[in-house]
């Protein structure tokens, strides 16, 4: 076959395969069998093998999966991927409706209702209409690059119908039929089966071998965007239609509701139809339709105020309470956990459930050996609801909370105004171990590779007794641990070293001071700017800070007054752990005088002197705001090498463009 003839045949096959993907995934009306589809793919693969220079990134053959990856790279989202606040009943929905109307000063509000598909949230980046990168949600700021695995999803368009640049968000999921087939194959091979389609989808997309992901028949629904470099429709319903016109698969079950009563009616309807869908859903997402209200309503630290997720009532099951296990947390609180006869619940096998405290055990009248009713609160956390007293045989036994700590045998106490028993021994090994697990967690020092299992191994081996010990670990300490090869050890030591450079608020949150969460740590870091200043602050000075109450102020003062804390902080400082806040303090924000103060900046292209993240941090430290898209409100575009559509958009709008040399000079002049 001549090249010209091959080119025409290749283009014809691509169009035919793409059209059959639309029939199958978007219209749910396949026109050919799977075997016939595979024949078309084989023909295309053969022709592209003969004429490799005719292969393009958007060819259907590029979905089959390439070589296994060594690891997943980290990806910083252009716009953070926030989670949604939850509603569990009709009253929660009505409260949401009233709150929206009160904040906007209106008596009417229109909403869009969408199915909450139970899968894995993903973010897809398109540049001039071509798919260039896909990532997991991660912690909302930073996810993992799973581009090669996402390419294997046939309903994901590799090329859009228009050359737009945008970041789009959606839910990758495994259809019920694919989940059934996958588990049947695993049973035949004697392998462990997946508990539910959500776990199967997440596990498939986090395979380092894209060929395994390609064999899992995943699907995708898109529901919104992050960064967009285009004029967009004014309502969310029209916005979803616009995404569909671009070529994205949007859930057809969405509906516009003109009142909260219509929202409730839609939820009732979908709850009845839930079992007949070809995929799992665990609720309904409700969003304000008029997008002009989004800015006025704003967001909290975790979620937008203009949307809410209604969670379906939890599935219930009956099982036997075998035992009650006692766990000591990082603050010394003693928590009882129910050990249950394993039971299937909401798609997973449940064998443990939190009982919170002794008072809950007494209120529910629980006895060891009881038949109990359990559910998953929000379809996530197992919870004991009640006892089935009619099933008692007389063999059940009363449970008594211990009077001494199960970890260190110190006397347990009830602190004033607290229900929970507490161990107040600062040297309690359980508290130290749990405190270390918190210290290295994603929201705190974020030491990648240093999870709970590794911490427990290090602790049991006597290698760590304080968080300061983490910074003295060497290769010889880590190599003997389970599943720790030379490469893993080197990566872990590098991650520990990187964490030394974290800003003060991460360290402060990681210390686990009682009542000081991530938000309070940020407030304190911004106010004081340095851990040494915070350590010596009086209760009165702390209480004057907005958001810091008397209870938190006392807790902070008591924590830093402990001799063992002073010793631990001294060791951290000796190991080179940063104690300073790297953003602008409150005082600096009011006095900043720099070319970036109060300016909106977009960074595009590749710079030689520093990465995009470092450039962003430097601009923000000088009082600027870094966004992902160019608009009339943009003050500067920092353009590195190979800057693309953002640079063109800046020129169109007359935005001041800064090259790398000028950018570095502006930083140096400040």
User: What does residue 196 show for φ and ψ, rounded to 5 degrees?
Assistant: -160, 165
Alpha-carbon gap, residue 123 to 139, rounded angstroms = 13
CA distances from 270 to 192, 345, 465 (A): 32, 21, 53
CB distance 79 to 224 below 8 Å = no
Q: Count of CB atoms within 10 A of residue 246's CB? A: 18
Q: In the 8-state DSSP scheme, what is residue 471?
A: G
**Is residue 368 within a helix (H) or strand (E), and if so which, with residue range?**
none
Active site annotation includes 613: no
∠ CA 193-198-203, nearest 5°, is 60
Alpha-carbon gap, residue 48 to 54, rounded angstroms = 7
Taking the CA atoms of residue 504, residue 532, residue 562 and residue 471 in that order, the dihedral angle to the nearest 10 degrees is: 50
Q: Which of 116, 151, 376, 616 is catalytic?
A: 116
Q: In the chain, what are the helix, strand and coil shares in percent, each to the nearest 5?
A: 40, 20, 40
Question: From the centroid of its chain, how far is CA 79?
Answer: 13
CA distances from 494 to 68, 261, 499, 536 (A): 24, 55, 9, 32
User: Which strands, in side-by-side order, build the sheet including 636-639?
Assistant: 625-627, 600-604, 636-639, 656-659
The residues, ordered by sequence, that sit 6+ positions from 118 with a Cβ below 8 Å of its Cβ are: 173, 196, 197, 198, 279, 280, 281, 282
Q: Where does residue 483 fall: left (phi above 0), alpha (psi -120 to 50 degrees), or beta otherwise?
A: left
Q: Count of CB atoms within 10 A of residue 668's CB? A: 7
Active site positions, annotated: 116
């Amino acid at each position: 076959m001549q090249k010209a003839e091959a080119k025409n045949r290749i283009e014809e096959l691509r169009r035919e395969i793409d059209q059959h993907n639309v029939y199958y995934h978007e219209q749910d009306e396949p026109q050919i069998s799977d075997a016939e589809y595979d024949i078309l793919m084989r023909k295309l693969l053969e022709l592209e093998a003969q004429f490799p220079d005719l292969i393009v990134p958007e060819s259907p053959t590029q979905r089959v999966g390439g070589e296994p990856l060594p690891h997943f790279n980290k990806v910083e989202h252009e716009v953070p991927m926030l989670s949604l606040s939850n509603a569990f009943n009709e009253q929660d929905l009505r409260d949401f409706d009233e709150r929206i109307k009160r904040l906007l000063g209106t008596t009417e509000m229109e909403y869009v209702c969408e199915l909450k598909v139970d899968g894995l949230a993903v973010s897809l980046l398109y540049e001039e209409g071509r798919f260039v990168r896909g990532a997991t949600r991660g912690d909302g700021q930073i996810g993992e690059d799973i581009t090669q695995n996402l390419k294997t999803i046939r309903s994901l368009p590799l090329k859009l119908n228009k050359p737009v640049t945008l970041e789009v968000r959606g839910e990758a999921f495994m259809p019920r039929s694919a989940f059934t087939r996958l588990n049947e194959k695993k049973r035949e091979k004697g392998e462990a089966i997946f508990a539910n389609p959500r776990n199967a989808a997440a596990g498939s997309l986090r395979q380092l071998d894209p060929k395994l992901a390609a064999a899992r028949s995943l699907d995708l629904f898109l529901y919104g965007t992050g960064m967009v470099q285009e004029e967009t429709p004014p309502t969310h319903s029209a916005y979803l239609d616009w995404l569909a016109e671009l070529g994205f698969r949007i859930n057809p079950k969405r509906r516009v509701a003109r009142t909260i009563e219509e929202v409730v009616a839609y939820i009732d309807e979908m709850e009845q139809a839930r079992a007949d869908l070809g995929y799992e859903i665990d609720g309904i997402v409700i969003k304000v339709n008029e997008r002009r209200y989004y800015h006025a309503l704003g967001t909290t630290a975790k979620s937008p105020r203009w949307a809410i997720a209604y969670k379906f009532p939890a599935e219930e099951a009956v099982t036997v309470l075998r035992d009650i296990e006692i766990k000591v947390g990082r603050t010394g609180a003693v928590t009882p956990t129910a050990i249950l006869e394993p039971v299937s619940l909401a798609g997973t096998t449940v064998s443990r459930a939190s009982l919170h405290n002794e008072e809950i055990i007494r209120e529910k009248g629980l006895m060891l050996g009881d038949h109990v009713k359990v559910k998953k609160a929000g379809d996530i956390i197992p919870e004991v609801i009640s006892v089935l007293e009619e099933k008692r045989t007389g063999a059940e036994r009363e449970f008594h909370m211990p009077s001494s700590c199960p970890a260190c045998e110190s006397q347990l106490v009830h602190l004033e105004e607290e229900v929970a028993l507490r161990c107040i021994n600062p040297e309690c090994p359980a508290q130290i171990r749990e405190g270390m697990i918190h210290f290295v967690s994603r929201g705190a020092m974020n030491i990648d590779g240093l999870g709970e299992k590794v911490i427990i191994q290090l602790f049991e081996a006597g290698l760590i007794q304080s968080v300061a010990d983490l910074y003295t670990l060497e290769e010889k300490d880590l190599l003997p641990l389970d599943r720790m090869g030379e490469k893993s050890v080197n990566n872990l030591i590098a991650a520990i070293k990187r964490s030394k450079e974290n800003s003060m608020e991460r360290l402060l949150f990681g210390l686990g001071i009682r009542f000081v969460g991530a938000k309070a740590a940020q407030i304190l870091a911004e106010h004081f700017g340095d851990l040494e200043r915070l350590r010596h602050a009086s209760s009165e000075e702390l209480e004057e800070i907005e958001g810091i109450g008397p209870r938190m102020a006392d807790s902070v003062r008591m924590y830093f007054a402990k001799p063992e804390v002073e010793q631990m902080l001294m060791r951290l400082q000796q190991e080179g752990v940063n104690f300073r806040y790297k953003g602008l303090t409150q005082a600096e924000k009011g006095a900043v005088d720099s070319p970036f103060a109060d300016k909106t900046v977009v960074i595009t292209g590749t710079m030689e002197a520093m990465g995009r993240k470092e450039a962003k941090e430097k601009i923000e430290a000088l009082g600027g705001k870094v966004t992902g898209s160019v608009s009339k409100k943009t003050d500067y575009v920092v353009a590195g090498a190979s800057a693309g559509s953002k640079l063109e958009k800046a020129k169109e709008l007359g935005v001041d463009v800064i090259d790398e040399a000028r950018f570095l000079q502006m930083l140096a002049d400040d």
